[in-house]
Structure 1
Amino acid sequence: MDYEIIEDVRQCRRVVETLMKEEMISCDAEGINLGKDGPLTLLQIGTTDGHVYLFDIHKEKRMFQDGGLKQLLESDQVLKVFHACSSDSQALQHQFGVSLKNVFDTQAAHLVILEQQGRLIPQMLKLSKICEIYGTTEMEEKTGMHIKWNKVFDYWEIRPLTEEMIEYACADVRVLVPEIYENQIRMLKGMNAMVIFNERVEEMANYRMDSNLQKTRKERIANGQKAVLRNMCLKYQTYVSCETLTDEDEKASLGRAWTEEEINLYMNPFVQHMYYEGFVNGLKELQTEMDQDGDDFNANVIHYIKLCKGKIYPQPRLKMLANDLCTGFCQFIFNGIVNKYDKQTPLYYLRSLEKMLLKEIRIHSSKDKSRYHSVVVDLHFKLTEDSIRQFYQTLIETPSKVIVTKGYYSFIYSQTKRSFVPASVREAATQLKQAIDKAGKGPSQKKNSRSTRRPPSGQN
């Protein structure tokens, strides 16, 4: 492998000076649950001749400001080719004040190309699949690495970098340029789709940090899914098995976890039949996957959302299956939490699904508390305290953007009184309650008036 590890500011300045002369580079980043809070620990940059630079950010964070990486990533002169840059962009912005510019995103390019070909619900793909479609260099699936990350939660903080880590990190950027980029840019230009592509790249890079872009993106995806359902209602006027479907848009639309209200609104009885049949099949496949993979099962948020939806659907068989699976699913997650973490674990190590389940625990008494392992309880209260302190900060900084629901106010009040709640949580809750009362945001203090624009509300 042709690579160089950069570990100090002086080295970094030398390399950046060289990279600033390139017309195009490929970029990627690794970290722990990479995003706003999940630390970026490694930045990879590749050149068109196959050389890769690995910037060890975990060892030296000053490389962005003092080493010139910020200047490079914000340069309008050097094109940066990423694959699905949203998490990278969020981490760079929040942790290092870097705003990506002049970006070509291969995930965004793929989605736009499919849309131009008539797809209403284009699906995001892993980089290995992008290679199959737009390149000639094959890339192996990295399932084994993701299993390892689930068990070794601080994998990308391990130093020195192992050969396995180096090989993985280099592969992600080496395949992007020039081949995939050249094939995609040729197709986009041939479709006269560069304007919409540039808009989608801007969205890909910033939607995690911009609520308006999130709304736009969510509405576009939802409108595409609803359009597919409308077409299906016209197409299917008799009972058809979901297993006979070949249209990718139809399968994608039925693969979403719709609410019961949406099912009744957008699906005729025949499409509903396919949807529920497919949902049951999906739950059975999930059950098989959990049984076969055991401790290596790669649980994700989408699994849990579907299980939660299934538990409230009207079909008894589906509801029972979802309930049974959800119990085992949650226990699997909690077992993993107990095996991996302790009460000193920083919250950024926790995966999104782990945080979701920990937040949903309801501890109203000492008896409730005793039902869970102490590590689970400790992390639950750490998340609770973190959430309360964040809400307090928002209230102090931008009170006009905050409303407090009756349920949230009651929750905060309860946290100030219960003896089994840790002292730090009681302290944070007391501080927030006092601030809410002082700002006149308590439910009993609010005037019975409606605002034309509702700010975000506090939630338990």
Structure 2
Amino acid sequence: MSSSAEIKVTSNEEVVDFLASFLDRTTIKVGEPAATKPKPLESKSLESKYTFVDTREALSDAIDGLVDLPSSPPSLYVDLEGNNLSRHGTISILQIHVRTTGHTYLIDVLTLGSLAFSTSGILHAETTLKSILESDQIPKVFFDVRNDSDALYSHYNISLSGIHDLQLMALATRNPGQRRVISGLARCIEKDAPLSHAERSRLAAVKAKGSALFSPEKGGSYAVFDARPLSGEIADYCVQDAAILPRLWSHYDGQLSKVWDGRVRDMSRRRVKESQSPTFNGKGQHMALGPVEWAMLRK
């Protein structure tokens, strides 16, 4: 038996969470108290109702449900799934969770193609999914926007705007000196998400069933996101990944001062811009590092 153990990581999130495990994840309130922030409308359950949108008619109806929503706190929480989600892969599904209604839309980008972004609403004929994603006036919450932005920009020429990156919000709540390495979504949920025991149990079960189908390390394949009809296990996984985001947003937002909120928004914009660069590489250990200038800030 060897006296040393080989550490093997197989995905960006595993790299992120492995490095983050060496950090003290103690958080402090940074600036103004949570009591000064507006009380958010929470989805009452992670078992969000959802609509699978794979026709232009259904998409037009969905678009009408995504406009004229409150912007503070944000109403739209977005995630993407695909086969090697990047400029080199595909976008299969775009999930949008609406905080005010607790409803999640699973947009079938694989089937709709460019129509997913050019189809307008019925009551809002001037609005498309592209215009929503590119509007600086409509806040959208992502967790680590970089690969999502890379894929959207490369395949559909969508330049995201109005982005709140939850991963950066989580990093901003850490103590000074602990902002060098970021955390993945799984670790943020484990450490910070305000969930009941029953909710955590269900979340773990849904994640286990989904990852068993798509994770290559468990004998699965990301091609399951391209299978139609979409399996119930994968649909549940997609819905849950988006429905958990409002809980995390509320947790982190309550700890951010106006200064740090501004830094998060500025860095979110920078992440989008960097993801559009011809030299952007969305895989590797560099993706686990936080902004260099944040690591040096003492408050």
Q: Deviations over 1:229-285 (max 9, x none)?
A: xxxxxxxxxxxxxxxxxxxxxxxxxxxxxxxxxxxxxxxxxxxxxxxxxxxxxxxxx
Matched, 1:40 2:99: no
Contact 1:206/1:213 (<8 A) preserved: no
**SS of alignment partner, residue 188 of structure 1:** coil
Match of 2:204 among 117, 136, 140: 140
Q: Deviations over 1:112-156 (max 9, x none)?
A: 222x5331423322x232223332123428466445322334111
Give the C-alpha shift of residue 21 in structure 1. Answer: 1.5
Q: Deviations over 1:282-329 (max 9, x none)?
A: xxxxxxxxxxxxxxxxxxxxxxxxxxxxxxxxxxxxxxxxxxxxxxxx
Q: Deviations over 1:310-361 (max 9, x none)?
A: xxxxxxxxxxxxxxxxxxxxxxxxxxxxxxxxxxxxxxxxxxxxxxxxxxxx
Query: 1:281-430, aligned counterparts within 5 Å?
Result: none
Match of 2:80 among 29, 44, 60: 29
Give the C-alpha shift of residue 222 in structure 1. Answer: 9.6
Matched letter for residue 164 of structure 1: E
Give the C-alpha shift of residue 206 in structure 1. Answer: 3.1
**SS of alignment partner, residue 4 of structure 1:** strand
Report which of the two structures shows the higher radius of gyration computed on alpha carbons.
1
**SS of alignment partner, residue 128 of structure 1:** helix
Contact 1:90/1:206 (<8 A) preserved: no
**SS of alignment partner, residue 144 of structure 2:** coil
Match of 2:143 among 83, 87, 109: 83
Farther-moved stretch of structure 1 (179-188 vs 27-36): 179-188
Give the C-alpha shift of residue 212 in structure 1. Answer: 8.9
Matched, 1:169 2:238: yes
Contact 1:128/1:140 (<8 A) preserved: no
Match of 1:182 among 250, 256, 278: 250
Contact 2:164/2:264 (<8 A) preserved: no
Match of 1:66 among 119, 141, 166: 119
5+ residue gaps, structure 2: 1-46, 121-127
Whole-Å Cα distance in 1 between the matches of residues 179 and 163 of structure 2? 25
**SS of alignment partner, residue 169 of structure 2:** helix
Contact 1:108/1:204 (<8 A) preserved: no
> Normalising by structure 2, what TM-score?
0.65
Change (3 A) 1:154 1:211: closer
Contact 1:34/1:88 (<8 A) preserved: yes
Question: How many aligned residue pairs are there?
Answer: 219
Contact 1:73/1:98 (<8 A) preserved: yes
Give the C-alpha shift of residue 180 in structure 1. Answer: 1.8
**SS of alignment partner, residue 131 of structure 1:** helix
Match of 2:171 among 89, 111, 120: 111
The equivalent of 1:7 in structure 2 is: 54
Give the C-alpha shift of residue 210 in structure 1. Answer: 2.7
Matched letter for residue 175 of structure 1: I
Match of 1:51 among 79, 103, 107: 103
**SS of alignment partner, residue 19 of structure 1:** coil
**SS of alignment partner, residue 132 of structure 2:** helix
Query: 1:185-204, aligned counterparts within 5 Å?
Result: 185-189=253-257, 192-204=259-271
Give the C-alpha shift of residue 65 in structure 1. Answer: 1.4
Matched letter for residue 165 of structure 2: D
**SS of alignment partner, residue 45 of structure 1:** strand
Give the C-alpha shift of residue 185 in structure 1. Answer: 1.7
Whole-Å Cα distance in 2 between the matches of residues 6 and 223 of structure 1? 40
The equivalent of 2:276 in structure 1 is: 209
5+ residue gaps, structure 1: 228-460
Whole-Å Cα distance in 2 between the matches of residues 181 and 9 of structure 1? 31
Change (3 A) 1:175 1:117: same
Contact 1:89/1:100 (<8 A) preserved: yes
Give the C-alpha shift of residue 26 in structure 1. Answer: 0.6
Whole-Å Cα distance in 2 between the matches of residues 135 and 160 of structure 1? 31
The equivalent of 1:337 in structure 2 is: none
Give the C-alpha shift of residue 183 in structure 1. Answer: 2.2
Matched letter for residue 21 of structure 1: D
> Normalising by structure 1, what TM-score?
0.44
Whichever structure has more helix as a proportion of its residues is 1
Q: Give the alignment's Cα RMSD to 1 decimal.
A: 2.8
Match of 1:129 among 161, 167, 187: 187
Change (3 A) 1:121 1:5: same
